Structure 1
Amino acid sequence: MSTDFQTARIALGARMRELRTEAGLNGRGMAARLSWQPSKVSRLENGKQTPTARDLEAWAEAVGQPDAAAELQGRLRGLESRYRTWRRQLAVGHRPRQEAGISETQRTRVIRGFEASVVPGMFQTADYARHVLSRYADFRTTPRDTEAAVNARMRRQVALYEQGREFRMLVWEGALYVLICSREVLAAQLDRLISLLGLANVSLGIVPFSAPLSIAPGDGFAIYDDRLVISETWNLEMWLEEAEDVAFFSKVWTAMDEVAVYEHRAHRLIARARASLDLP
């Protein structure tokens, strides 16, 4: 069982125990009230058994706090899908994660995203993606399946040309200068970004160094319609489905969008980064 899952299950059990003790009930009393075996109460509270949604509703009723059911059930939904460490995500390499990205993209009409340090995966050239994926595999000491992962990332980009989809991506200007690859590969990547500026269903905004910001650029994230946020940190990836989380990241995206530049102004910033490489 994954550390992520078990840690969250222990936290859920601790919250259930807290509600029981607040109600003045011991374990046997709680079991009697629910017509359960005492061992079930113990397993749930110690994170050794996963409750069902119905268990949690009954628990909230038994402690006299029916409104707590929503909180407990929200924790249950997040047990396995909320936080995923990169070591767990990449246990067999990058390809499965890229395949998951294809699946989510196929389910989505509008993707809004922000990246502060690299070009968004949907816009990467194969060479640039190859460098990014191999560097992180080395850094995180996870299995290297770079070519399979790059191929999957390129397949995902087919969606850029499909009718009925919209990609609204924001990139911090600094990402245009990050040499996570050779200068030649970065130059080709910047040329690729310029070519995407003309696509009908792609909106690419650059957040300039000089932009007055209400918040500083942080971790990259993508919002899939209004149902899911995937946000990356150094050590884990968060899959967030709660409405309040989606609303929060939408607020972050809007704050960046308000100071981003588009079309010819974005072209100018990308071209300036390209010229700084001092290549043909």
Structure 2
Amino acid sequence: MTFDPQELGQSSSDLAAILQELRKRAGLSGVQLARRVSMSQSKISKIETGRVIPSLVDVELILRALDAPLDLVAHVTALARLANTEWQDARALRRKGLDRKQIELTTLERSTIRFRYFLPTMITGLLATPEYVRASLAPFPGDHTKAIAKKLERQDVLYESSKQFSFILTEQACRWPLVPAQAMAMQIDRLVSVSRLPNVRIGVIPMAGHMPWAPLNVFTVYDESLAIVEVSTGALVFRDPRDVQDYLDEFLTFEGYALWGENARVKMGGWADHFRDISQDF
């Protein structure tokens, strides 16, 4: 199906109303439907009142239990897909203030235990030096003082031993010269340093050998419940378990092509030395 970005995440009330109407047409109470689909009556009630967004699997179970017509199955499944997907427009985020986005991410990071970052284009804020953070925001107009401060504050989460982080960066992401050569060397040195934290894994995929899988987008998976996929004009937020699992599977694929531990540190150290050599030539 084709997504209209303005509809993403806005169809949950329509979905709730249709599911409730279908149950009533079938002559079933909430308790009876709950028994048929092995859910609690409380969950059925929350789905029908829009307090809980059902997954695609939940919706399929309910539709089968209600013997919904095929044309309605297609429509309701599409609504469920939209309800489980949110579009975050980059222009709207910038108008609100980039520091607001950092506050949202801080809240999300506070409730997450397992983080997986796939970074094919550039280094994420959690791993960035102050100079790199400033450079990453420089193309956007306005005063980014607050946003920079919030980005750097967020890095404290890396030192919470109860949380686990896995970062996969391509060689391009590590070596893209967003800042001058000496600053790039310091940035890569930071990657090496952070990779020694006991709860942080940093893998790198060198531009060498055969790579039969081509990355398309930056994405982050929070636990097994949420995936955020970044594009140049914004971000898609996926909550349906099957969508999230697709990104977990993709991450696992790239894990197999990455260097980890000391092998990764040796490779990154060579890249940092390259930038130091360049800086000495000027």
Map of 1:74 onto structure 2: 80
Residue pairs, 1:1-280, within 5 angstroms: 4-6=5-7, 54=48, 64=69, 71=77, 74-75=80-81, 77-78=83-84, 82-135=86-139, 137-138=140-141, 144-277=142-275, 278=277, 279=279
Deviations 1:111-159 (A, max 9, x none): 0011011112211111111110222x25xxxxx2421111111111111
After TM superposition, the score normalised by the length of structure 2 is 0.73
Whether the 8 Å CA contact 1:212–1:259 is kept in 2: the answer is no
* Contact 2:9–2:86 (CA under 8 A) maintained in structure 1: no
1:69 positional shift: 7.9
Determine if contact 1:226/1:246 at 8 Å carries over to the other structure: yes
CA distance in 2, matches of 1:248, 1:276: 36
Q: In structure 2, what is the Cα distance between the partners aligned to 1:104 and 1:55?
A: 25
The SS at the match of 2:121 is: coil
Shift of 1:85: 1.7
| Number of residue-to-residue matches in the alignment | 234
The 3-state SS of whatever aligns with 1:91 is helix
Q: Which structure 1 residue ranges, 4+ long, deviate > 2 Å from structure 2? A: 3-10, 52-57, 60-70, 75-78, 211-214
| Shift in Å, 1:4 | 3.5
- When residues 240 and 121 of structure 1 are mapped into structure 2, their CA distance, relative to the original with a 3 A threshold, is same
**Secondary structure, counterpart of 1:212 in structure 2:** coil
- Opposite residue 156 of structure 2, the aligned amino acid is V
Structure 2, unaligned stretches of length 5 or more?
18-24, 26-45, 51-58
Of all paired residues, the percent bearing the same amino acid is: 21
Contact 1:94 1:133 in 2 (8 A): no
2: CA distance, partners of 1:100 / 1:181: 27
Aligned mates of 2:241, 2:8 — CA distance in 1? 23
- Which segments of 5 or more consecutive residues in structure 1 lack a partner in the other structure? 17-32, 34-51, 139-143
SS in 1 for 2:264: helix
The one-letter code matched in structure 2 to 1:252 is E
Contact 2:229 2:236 in 1 (8 A): yes
Q: 1:104 to 1:9 in 2, by over 3 A?
A: closer
Question: 1:97 and 1:214 mapped to 2: Cα distance?
Answer: 35
CA contact (8 A) 1:211 1:259 kept: no
Is the Cα–Cα contact under 8 Å of residues 10 and 83 in structure 2 kept in the other structure?
no
The offset of 1:68, in angstroms, is 5.6
Question: What is the root-mean-square deviation of aligned Cα atoms in Å?
Answer: 3.2
CA spacing shift, 1:69–1:164, aligned 2, 3 Å: farther
TM-score between both structures, scaled by the size of structure 1:
0.73
